[in-house]
């Protein structure tokens, strides 16, 4: 999830665990605890563009990290803040819950989270919520802010903080149920069209949980479709995108491309534009694909061979403005 969401969730956890003992400052430490796993971004300059994709949400998002680091930081903070009268166990609880909720929440998105690092590189992704969802974050933020400005010894503080936790948790339950409903509807439409598929995957589109994308691989590429819970029927219009794997032939032995393939879990397609080759991770969909099947993919890298025959990866820029894409998205969410 995005940084703001983790800060809000961490602040709520901090208040719930230590608020009665140390007041609103507990929100600060909770926000820190829930943000620490994302400190892996500071290691980015040490790695290539492709390697960065696998470093992020890697070891710092594993259960091993949570189990090992929480007691250590708990001990450290119990030594630093002896006057706070907070025990090692209580500090450890705060950090463990911050780490645990962070890695579980991230696993609900498409990116993938390394729960089992360093023993397995498998990335867990349940595809039930988009990486930034204002319907989850904003109500939670309002509740936490109200709790923050309330007096330390006020019952209002506890009630608003708990309300934020309950409301956000219920929304996560809704996204799971909604995914099941949407997948059922979209798969039914897919089967009615007698389309061939090896696997069927659904994932929410940006900033909402109402418009969903489905993709399904076949022998030559992928079937794509979009469905809003507000559509009058489930007659999804599916379109096909070729994988164009042959375009990767010149880059077969390139380590950067291998890492892109690993990160995408094999869900990618190749495209060309003005004699340039692009690697597209299809899991993140297209910016405006619900209106234009030929829209650019959100996650796209240009593959360049330098003069010394080494690889340089450049993240391609969007051709569509954000405002135009947002208007298009809202209109499509409303249904056909």
CA distances in angstroms from 285 to 174, 203, 214, 222, 300, listed in the order given: 22, 9, 9, 12, 10
Q: Give pLDDT, residue 309.
A: 40
Taking the CA atoms of the chain, what radius of gyration do you get in angstroms? 22
What pLDDT score does 314 carry? 53
* Same structural domain, 135 and 264: no
Indicate if 165 and 209 belong to the same structural domain.
no
72 and 146, same domain (yes or no) = yes
DSSP string covering 311-325: EEEEEPPPSS-HHHH
Task: Identify the bridge partners of residue 202 per DSSP, sorted by sequence position.
Answer: 214
Which residue, 107, 142, 176, sits at the end of a domain? 176
Given pLDDT bands bounded at 50, 70 and 90, which one contains residue 212? very high
Overall pTM surpassing 0.85 (yes/no): yes
β-bridge pairing 239-242 and 268-273: unpaired
Q: How far is 162 from 170, CA to CA, in rounded Å?
A: 12
Measured between alpha carbons, how far is 85 from 207 in angstroms, rounded to an integer? 42
* Residue 184 located in a structural domain: no
What is the percent of the chain where pLDDT is above 70? 95
Q: Are residues 311 and 223 in the same domain?
A: yes
Q: Quick one: what percent of the chain has pLDDT higher than 90?
A: 69
b/e string for 150-166 if b means 16 or more Cβ within 10 A? beeeeeebeebbebbbe
Range of the domain at 223: 193-336
C-alpha distance from residue 208 to each of 175, 213, 215, 242, 334 (Å): 10, 12, 18, 28, 12
Planar angle of CA 223, 228, 232, nearest 5 degrees: 110
Whether omega for the bond prior to residue 72 falls within 30 degrees of 0, making it cis, is no
| 187 falls within a domain | no
* pLDDT for the residue numbered 308: 42
What is the separation of C-alpha 250 from the centre of its chain, rounded to a whole number of angstroms?
Answer: 31
Tens-digit pLDDT profile for residues 281-306: 999 988 888 888 888 888 888 887 65
* Same domain, yes or no: 70 and 207: no
Residues 33 and 161 in one domain: yes
Same domain, 125 and 75: yes
296 inside domain = yes
Question: Do 238 and 274 have their domain in common?
Answer: yes
Give the span between the Cα atoms of 180 and 104, in whole angstroms: 19
Assigned domain for 181 exists: no
For residue 311, what pLDDT is reported?
A: 45
Residue pLDDT, tens place only, 97-149: 999 999 999 999 999 999 999 999 999 999 999 999 999 999 999 999 999 99
Does residue 162 sit in the same domain as residue 250? no
* Domain total of the chain: 2
Where among 176, 206, 238 does a domain terminate?
176
Mean pLDDT lowest among 79-83, 221-225, 297-301, 320-324: 320-324
Residues 65 and 200 placed together within one structural domain of the fold: no
Query: Domain for residue 257, yes or no?
Result: yes
Residue predicted with more confidence, 183 or 196: 183
Last residue of a domain, one of 176, 204, 231: 176
* Residues 140, 281 share a domain: no
Residues 125 and 57 in one domain: yes
Indicate the pLDDT class of residue 310, thresholds 50, 70 and 90.
very low
- pLDDT confidence bin for 315, thresholds 50/70/90: low
């Amino acid at each position: 999830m995005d940084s703001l969401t983790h800060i809000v969730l961490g602040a709520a956890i901090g208040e719930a665990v230590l608020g009665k003992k140390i007041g609103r400052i507990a929100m600060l430490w909770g926000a820190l605890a829930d943000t620490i796993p994302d400190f892996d971004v500071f290691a980015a300059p040490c790695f290539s563009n492709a390697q960065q994709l696998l470093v992020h949400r890697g070891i710092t998002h594993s259960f091993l990290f949570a189990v090992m680091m929480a007691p250590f930081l708990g001990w450290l903070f119990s030594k630093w803040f002896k006057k706070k009268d907070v025990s090692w166990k209580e500090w450890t609880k705060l950090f463990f819950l911050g780490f645990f909720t962070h890695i579980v929440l991230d696993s609900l998105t498409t990116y993938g989270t390394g729960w089992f690092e360093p023993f397995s590189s498998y990335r867990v992704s349940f595809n039930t919520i988009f990486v930034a969802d204002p319907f989850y974050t904003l109500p939670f933020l309002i509740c936490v802010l109200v709790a923050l400005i309330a007096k330390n010894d006020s019952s209002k503080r506890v009630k608003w903080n708990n309300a934020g936790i309950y409301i956000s948790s219920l929304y996560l339950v809704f996204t799971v149920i909604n995914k099941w409903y949407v997948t059922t509807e979209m798969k039914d439409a897919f089967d009615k069209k007698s389309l061939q598929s090896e696997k069927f995957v659904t994932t929410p589109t940006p900033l909402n949980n109402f418009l969903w994308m489905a993709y399904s691989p076949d022998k030559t590429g992928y079937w794509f479709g979009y469905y809003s819970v507000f559509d009058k029927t489930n007659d999804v219009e599916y379109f096909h995108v070729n994988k164009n794997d042959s375009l990767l032939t010149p880059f077969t032995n390139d380590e950067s491309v291998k890492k892109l393939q690993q990160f995408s879990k094999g869900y990618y397609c190749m495209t060309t534009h003005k004699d340039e080759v692009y690697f597209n991770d299809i899991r993140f969909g297209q910016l405006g694909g619900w209106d234009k099947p030929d829209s650019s993919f959100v996650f796209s890298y240009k593959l360049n061979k330098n003069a010394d025959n080494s690889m340089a990866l450049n993240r391609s820029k969007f051709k569509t403005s954000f405002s135009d894409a947002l208007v298009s998205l809202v209109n499509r969410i409303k249904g056909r």
